[in-house]
Amino acid sequence: MVLRRLARPELRIVADQLRAELIRIGSEVGGHFAGSLGTVELTVALHYLLDTPHDRLVWDVGHQAYGHKALTGRLAGLMKVKKADGPSGFLRREESPYDAFGAGHAGTSVSAALGMVEAARRSDSGARVVAIIGDGAATSGMSFEALNHAGELGCDLRVVFNDNGMSIAPNVGGLSRTKRARGYFEALGLTYIGPIDGHDLDQLLPGVEALLASPGPTVLHVRTQKGHGFAPAVADPYKWHATQPFECSTGRPRSAGEAGTAKASGSGGAPSWTSAFADALIRVAERDPRVVAITAAMPDGTGIDKFAKRFPDRTYDVGIAEQHAVTFAAGLAAEGLRPVCAIYSTFLQRAFDQVVHDVALQKLPVTFALDRGGLVGADGPTHHGVLDFAYLRIIPNLIVSAPRDENDLEGLLAAAVASGRPFALRFPRGAATGVSILSEPKALAIGRGEVLRRGGDVALLGIGRTVGVAQRTAELLAERGVRASVIDARYVKPLDAELICATARGTGHVVTIEDHAGFGGFGSAVLELIAREVPRTAVRIHALPDRFTDHGEVTAQYRAAGIDPESVAADTLTWLRSLHPTPLSRPRAGEEQEGPRVT
Give the catalytic positions in this structure. Answer: 226, 322, 350
535 binds its own copies (CB under 8 A): yes
**Residue among 247, 532, 590, 593 that touches its own copies (CB under 8 A):** 532
* Shortest Cβ 221–its own copies spacing (Å): 12
Q: Is 401 in the site for its own copies (CB under 8 A)?
A: no
Q: Does 350 bind its own copies (CB under 8 A)?
A: yes
- For its own copies, give the closer residue by CB, 257 or 562: 562
Check binding of 381 to its own copies (CB under 8 A).
yes
**Contact letters (x/-) for its own copies, 360-379, by CB under 8 A?**
xxx-----------------
Could you say whether residue 69 binds its own copies (CB under 8 A)? no
The binder of its own copies chosen from 390, 414, 416, 500 (CB under 8 A): 390
111 touches its own copies (CB under 8 A): yes
Q: Residue 583: enclosing H or E segment and its boundaries?
A: helix 581-584
Q: Given the rule CB under 8 A, which of 95-103, 462-470, 476-484, 562-570 is the region that contacts its own copies? A: 95-103
Quote the CA–CA distance of 443 and 450 in Å, as a whole number.
12
For residue 78, how many other CB atoms are within 10 A of its CB?
A: 24
Binding residues for its own copies, total number by CB under 8 A: 115
Which of 75, 452, 519, 571: binder of its own copies (CB under 8 A)? 519
Give residues 325-344 in contact with its own copies (rule: CB under 8 A): 326-337, 339
Interface positions, 293-332, toward its own copies (CB under 8 A): 316, 318-319, 321, 323-324, 326-332
Query: DSSP secondary structure string, 67-78?
Result: HHHIIIIITTGG
CA dist 97 and 560 (Å) reads 29
DSSP string of 334-376, one letter each residue: HTT-EEEEEEEHHHHGGGHHHIIIIIITTT---EEEEEEEB--
Nearest to residue 509, comparing CAs of 480, 467, 541, 550? 541
Nearer to its own copies, 19 or 383 (CB): 383
> CB burial class (10 A; 0-12, 13-18, 19+) of residue 16?
middle
Residue 477 interacting with its own copies (CB under 8 A):
no
> With respect to its own copies, which residue has the nearer C-beta, 183 or 590?
183
Q: How far apart are CA 6 and CA 415, in angstroms?
A: 64
Give the residue, chosen from 393, 426, 429, 542, that forms a contact with its own copies under the rule CB under 8 A.
393
Least gap, CB of 376 to its own copies (angstroms): 14
8 Å CB contact between 512 and 542 = yes
DSSP 3-state assignment of 435? coil
Amino acid present at 167: S
Residue 523 binds its own copies, judged by CB under 8 A: yes
| Cα–Cα distance measured from residue 312 to residue 292, given in angstroms and rounded to the nearest whole number | 10
Residue 108 interacting with its own copies (CB under 8 A): yes
* Segment lying near its own copies (by CB under 8 A), choices 20-28, 222-230, 235-243, 515-523: 515-523
Considering only residues 214 to 273 of the shown chain, the ones binding its own copies according to CB under 8 A are none
Q: Which of residues 129-148 bind its own copies (CB under 8 A)?
A: 139-148
CB 281 within 8 A of CB 307: yes
- Which one of 4-12, 225-233, 349-357, 449-457 is the stretch in contact with its own copies (CB under 8 A)? 349-357
Rounded to the nearest 10°, the torsion over CA 96, 101, 105, 110 is: -140
Nearer to its own copies, 260 or 380 (CB): 380
Q: Degrees (nearest 5) of the Cα angle 459, 463, 468?
A: 75
**CB of residue 266 vs its own copies: minimum separation in angstroms?**
29
Residue 563 binding its own copies, by CB under 8 A: no
Give the separation between CA 348 and CA 325, rounded to whole angstroms.
Answer: 10
Among 203, 382, 485, 557, binds its own copies (CB under 8 A): 382
Instruction: Check if the beta carbon of residue 41 is closer than 8 Å to that of residue 199.
Output: yes
Residue 543 CB, nearest approach to its own copies (Å): 10
Q: Within 481-510, which residues bind its own copies (CB under 8 A)?
A: 493
**Peptide bond between residue 494 and the one before it cis (omega within 30 degrees of 0):** yes
- From 35-43, 67-75, 113-121, 232-240, give the range in contact with its own copies by CB under 8 A: 113-121
Nearest approach in angstroms of CB 463 to its own copies is 15
Residue selected from 524, 557, 567, 572 as contacting its own copies according to rule CB under 8 A: 524
Examine residue 581 and tell whether it contacts its own copies (CB under 8 A).
no
Pairing assessment for the beta strands 291-295 and 450-453 based on DSSP bridges: unpaired
Residue 84 touches its own copies, criterion: CB under 8 A: no
Which residue stretch of 23-31, 278-286, 347-355, 369-377 sits at the interface with its own copies (rule: CB under 8 A)? 347-355
Classify each residue of 122-159 as buried b or exposed e, where b means 16 or more C-beta atoms within 10 Å of its C-beta.
Answer: eeeeebbbbbbbbbbbbbbebbbebbebbbeeebbbbb
Site for its own copies in 163-182 (CB under 8 A): 172-177, 180-182
First to last CA, the chain: 68
CB of 297 to its own copies, least distance (A): 11
Among 528, 556, 574, 590, binds its own copies (CB under 8 A): 528
User: What does the alpha-carbon distance between residue 447 and residue 497 come to, in Å, rounded to a whole number?
Assistant: 8
Choosing from 6, 248, 556, 579, the residue that interacts with its own copies (CB under 8 A) is: 579
CB 270 within 8 A of CB 433: yes
- Cβ–Cβ < 8 Å for 441, 471: no
Answer whether 293's CB lies under 8 Å from 340's CB.
Answer: yes
Contact with its own copies (CB under 8 A) among 15, 112, 276, 414: 112
Using CB under 8 A as the binding rule, the residues of this chain from 540 to 559 that contact its own copies are 540-541, 546-548
